[in-house]
Amino acid sequence: MEKIILPAMLLAAAVAVAENPVVQTCFTTDPAPMVYNDTLYLYTGHDEAGADFFWMQEWRVYSTADMVNWTDHGSPLAIEDFSWGDDRAWAPQCVERNGKFYFYVPLHSKVSGTMAIGVAVGDSPVGPFKDALGKPLYDGSWDHIDPTVFVDDDGRAYIYWGNPNIYYAELNDDMISFKSEVKVLEQTEDSFGAPSPKNRVKGKKYKDTYTEGPWFYKRGDKYYLLYAAGGVPEHIAYSMSDSPMGPWKYMGEIMPLHDTGSFTNHCGVADFKGNSYFFYHTGKLPGGGGFARSAAVEQFKYNPDGTFPTITSTEEGVAPVGRLN
């Protein structure tokens, strides 16, 4: 039996097997997982069919209790919900704090004419969400894209974003303002495989290059920063640190280049019901490609020292971890 994409309503019991892409009813990009209670929520962008660029208008939410059956919650947030935004609803992430859900997004700003970071807030992981500020959280440059946020064990929250630079800061407890100065992270060959863009030597081959799409989290006492790397086409690489603000050490590739059908990639990682999952996107849905991408997922196990194994894309996806009631 094939995997079932379920509308948000009461349904009869069903059993399904896994299959990639996760969502097969529309194109879903830049998957960002969040576990809340006994459910994994997946926040995505939405490539429009027939697009010739990343012309994206909304973000979407899906949820699962078993990693196989997914509920489609539609679009709880779109460009129109930001009075200051007018285009390019790119890679999101949602995090929970004190019963509120904070939805961080990049979009094109009417204020600056460039890209900006916005934040919306809701009382439920599936929305509705409302612009928390009525203005950008951070504005003024084309590389203000792909925000990733993490609330640490001590309650302190941090945000990273950027392409090709990496910006970072500590957030206040309200999650919608900065506690620290926003800084540009100095990239080096030791930390990210190559120096910061301004210091790279044209024509020199580096062991890797940070590109975009950071994903920031903590496991044990180690901090992880995963990202799309290598320019175009993109693979997924990562760096690790003992501190939420670095210094970072480049650790290598996680998902090397192979036939994903997409020249970009964007990852998110979550632990759910005793398993570890790596989300990414491909162009494997019929009609898919570089501007028509689809979320996919692989189960993996960390190496004993906490490093990543090599992960490659599969059509099978992951095994179920429960039964749909």
- Map out the domains of the chain as residue ranges: 5-300
Instruction: Please give the model's pTM, rounded to 2 decimal places.
Output: 0.94
254, 237 Cβ separation under 8 angstroms: yes
> What does the pLDDT profile of the chain (325 residues) look like in tens digits?
445 455 544 333 344 567 999 999 999 999 999 999 999 999 999 999 889 999 999 999 999 999 999 999 999 999 999 999 999 999 999 999 999 999 999 999 999 999 999 999 999 999 999 999 999 999 999 999 999 999 999 999 999 999 999 999 999 999 999 999 999 999 999 999 999 999 999 999 999 999 999 999 999 999 999 999 999 999 999 999 999 999 999 999 999 999 999 999 999 999 999 999 999 999 999 999 999 999 999 999 999 999 999 999 999 999 999 776 6
- Domain 5-300 is of which CATH architecture? 5 Propeller (2.115)
